[in-house]
Amino acid sequence: MKAFLTILSGSLLAGALTACSSEDAPAVDNKVVPGNEGVAGVNEEQAEYTVPAFPDETNRGKILSLPESVKGVSRAANAFAVDMFRTLREQSGGNNIATAPFSVFTALSMAANGDSGQTREGIVNRLGNGEATLEELNTFSSAMMEQLVHLDGGVWCMTANSLWVNGRGDDVNAGFSNTLNEVYNASLYARDFGTDDVRSEINRWIENHTYGSIKDFLSDGVCGNAALINTVYFKGLWSSGFHESGTAPEAFHNLDGSVKEIASMHQREALNVILNDEVTTLILPFGTDLHNPHFTMTVMMPADNFDGFVNTLTAEKIAGYTAAAGNNRILTDLSLPKFESDYKNNIASCLTALGLGSMFENGFNSMLTSPVKVDGAIHGARIKVSEEGTEATGATAIILLGSDLGSNPKATVVNIDHPFVYTISEVSTGTILFMGEITNL
């Protein structure tokens, strides 16, 4: 029987890989198929989610540590993140866009372990920017997933992975299954894909692992033979919060030329900001340490020609803007719009444009005991920015600024009042976890 594989990646952020079969299987109870009890790693049921506690604050000051051999993978991941963002926005028709490149990167890294030919070579070359091996991609992904959650007492950053297969689960290639279990801590679920129950259960798994943020991720028409799923969830409290009493309507100048009154948050704080004729760059820290954060949001608002700015944006330029702002801490009178943005679409054409066409042409030859074809690619992401923080957020860690600025210091006014690009990153590696733009509010 020929199988077709659909790659899905969604976030808040969540990513997934799923498959479709050309034949319907007989309906059975939505439990483990009888007889698969001996299949290693097969899970019968999934627990309902509960909102987790923030990490232990005793981790304050801890630095994410990557093996020396894979530190370059972070730069490659950022190059992929920016290229994916730019390609998707070209296809979005000028709408706000939110992406979770780390989710897509992780899902594709997992999938690459399910092939030994051109598909694997294409994914590894693209994700590793021609400089990393599959083993190094695996090591990087594993280290990031394991350590992100433990960095800060004011931030949740969690990932989860799972493999869903049609039938008893005994047609999963042992090497592929072992890698997913040992490297990616992925759970294996064996189900009957011939009923709509499995789609609902996969959606519930994604909802559980994004703590209710992403619901009904898969549409009614999705069925299949396998599903490889990754989710990424981020919730960060601002190190220096915005008071709700200070939120007030302000004009936002949309990309189409219209002007709209938008609820905008305000704070007066020493922040890392750089203003020049090209772009205003602002760094907002998350978590318990205002001066040495583990996670930040970087906002880049070009002075004009927004499309030209984004079309020439690279990971190196973002690193340069961030470094310049990081070296310029000034008292800032900030106005930032509250916003929510989400995105979900089939991104097969985007991945093909990024050089991953072999994945759709050749499929994966060692994921299951028989080859599977790629049918499509879906990516979804959501972000919500509020006075408390970001869910991509409440206790807030408030760190009082010293008195060396004088009794009535002059503050630099920063109004984020026209289209901007934003990223959310882990600081020590610089890895971009989420990236998007706001062009119309």
Separation between Cα atoms, residue 71 and residue 141, nearest integer Å: 11
**Which residues are CB-neighbours of 80 under 8 A, at least 6 positions away?**
101, 104, 105, 126, 127, 129, 354
AA letter at 232: V
Instruction: Please indicate, yes or no, whether residues 329 and 431 belong to a single structural domain of this protein.
Output: yes
Residue 416 pLDDT class (50, 70, 90 cuts) = confident
Q: What tokens were used for 232?
A: 């990424």
Instruction: Please indicate, yes or no, whether residues 284 and 327 belong to a single structural domain of this protein.
Output: yes
Whether 158 shows a pLDDT value over 80: the answer reads: yes
Q: Which helix (H) or strand (E) holds 296?
A: strand 295-302
Instruction: Please indicate, yes or no, whether residues 166 and 267 belong to a single structural domain of this protein.
Output: no
Q: What tokens were used for 417?
A: 């009042």
pLDDT, mean of residues 169-191: 89
Instruction: Please indicate, yes or no, whether residues 92 and 159 belong to a single structural domain of this protein.
Output: yes
Whether 33 shows a pLDDT value over 60: the answer reads: no
List the domain range (segments joined by +) for residue 86: 3-236+342-383
Q: What is the pLDDT of residue 395?
A: 14
Angle between helices 101-112 and 118-127 (to 10 degrees): 150
Q: Could you tell me if 98 and 343 are in contact, meaning their C-beta atoms sit under 8 angstroms apart?
A: yes
Whether 408 shows a pLDDT value over 70: the answer reads: no
Tokens 């598909």 correspond to 119
Task: Find out whether the peptide bond into 13 is cis, omega within 30 degrees of 0.
Answer: yes
Instruction: Please indicate, yes or no, whether residues 368 and 398 belong to a single structural domain of this protein.
Output: no
Residue 308 pLDDT class (50, 70, 90 cuts) = very high
Find how far residue 420's CA is from the centre of its chain. Answer: 19
Residue 334 pLDDT class (50, 70, 90 cuts) = very high
Separation between Cα atoms, residue 46 and residue 42, nearest integer Å: 11
Instruction: Please indicate, yes or no, whether residues 66 and 176 belong to a single structural domain of this protein.
Output: yes
Q: What is the pLDDT of residue 48?
A: 59
Domain total in the chain: 2
Instruction: Please indicate, yes or no, whether residues 193 and 280 belong to a single structural domain of this protein.
Output: no
**Which residues are CB-neighbours of 110 under 8 A, at least 6 positions away?**
17, 141, 161, 180, 184, 186, 228, 230
Instruction: Please indicate, yes or no, whether residues 203 and 193 belong to a single structural domain of this protein.
Output: yes
Q: What is the pLDDT of residue 55?
A: 60
Q: Could you tell me if 10 and 378 are in contact, meaning their C-beta atoms sit under 8 angstroms apart?
A: yes
Beta bridge partners of 331: 270
Instruction: Please indicate, yes or no, whether residues 176 and 273 belong to a single structural domain of this protein.
Output: no
Rounded to two decimals, the pTM is: 0.85
Q: Smallest Cα–Cα separation from 433: which of 396, 386, 383?
A: 383
Which has more pLDDT, 78 or 377? Answer: 78
Q: Could you tell me if 132 and 195 are in contact, meaning their C-beta atoms sit under 8 angstroms apart?
A: no
Separation between Cα atoms, residue 133 and residue 70, nearest integer Å: 9
Whether 201 shows a pLDDT value over 90: the answer reads: no
Backbone angles phi and psi of 224, in degrees to 5: 160, -170
Kindly report, residue by residue over 342-395, the tens digit of the pLDDT. 888 778 889 899 998 888 888 888 888 888 777 667 788 889 999 998 887 211
- The three-state (H, E, C) secondary structure of 305-352, written as one string: CHHHHHHCCCHHHHHHHHHHHHCCEEEEEEEEECEEEEEEEECHHHHH
pLDDT, mean of residues 161-179: 85
Separation between Cα atoms, residue 191 and residue 195, nearest integer Å: 10
Kindly report, residue by residue over 219-245, the tens digit of the pLDDT. 765 555 677 788 889 998 999 889 899
Which has more pLDDT, 277 or 15? Answer: 277
Residue 35 pLDDT class (50, 70, 90 cuts) = very low
Q: What is the pLDDT of residue 221?
A: 53
Whether 109 shows a pLDDT value over 90: the answer reads: yes
Which has more pLDDT, 177 or 15? Answer: 177
CB neighbours of residue 227 within 10 Å: 29
Find how far residue 239's CA is from the centre of its chain. Answer: 21
Q: Is the dihedral of CA 236, 239, 245, 246 positive or negative?
A: negative
Whether 12 shows a pLDDT value over 90: the answer reads: no
Instruction: Please indicate, yes or no, whether residues 300 and 259 belong to a single structural domain of this protein.
Output: yes
**Using alpha carbons only, how large is the chain's radius of gyration in Å?**
22
**Which residues are CB-neighbours of 354 under 8 A, at least 6 positions away?**
80, 83, 84, 87, 126
Q: Could you tell me if 357 and 294 are in contact, meaning their C-beta atoms sit under 8 angstroms apart?
A: no
Whether 420 shows a pLDDT value over 50: the answer reads: yes
List the CATH number of the domain containing 374. Answer: 3.30.497.10
Instruction: Please indicate, yes or no, whether residues 377 and 414 belong to a single structural domain of this protein.
Output: no
Question: Is 61 buried (19+), middle (13-18) or exposed (0-12) by CB count in 10 A?
Answer: exposed
Pairing of strands 259-275, 187-191: unpaired
Whether 46 shows a pLDDT value over 80: the answer reads: no
pLDDT, mean of residues 272-277: 90
Q: Could you tell me if 98 and 8 are in contact, meaning their C-beta atoms sit under 8 angstroms apart?
A: no
Q: What is the pLDDT of residue 152?
A: 85
pLDDT, mean of residues 206-218: 82
List the CATH number of the domain containing 278. Answer: 2.30.39.10
Q: Smallest Cα–Cα separation from 359: which of 125, 169, 172?
A: 125
Q: What is the pLDDT of residue 135?
A: 95
Whether 401 shows a pLDDT value over 60: the answer reads: no
Whether 84 shows a pLDDT value over 80: the answer reads: yes
Residue 279 pLDDT class (50, 70, 90 cuts) = very high
Instruction: Please indicate, yes or no, whether residues 292 and 374 belong to a single structural domain of this protein.
Output: no
Q: Smallest Cα–Cα separation from 418: which of 297, 301, 275?
A: 301
Q: What is the pLDDT of residue 3?
A: 37
Residue 13 pLDDT class (50, 70, 90 cuts) = very low
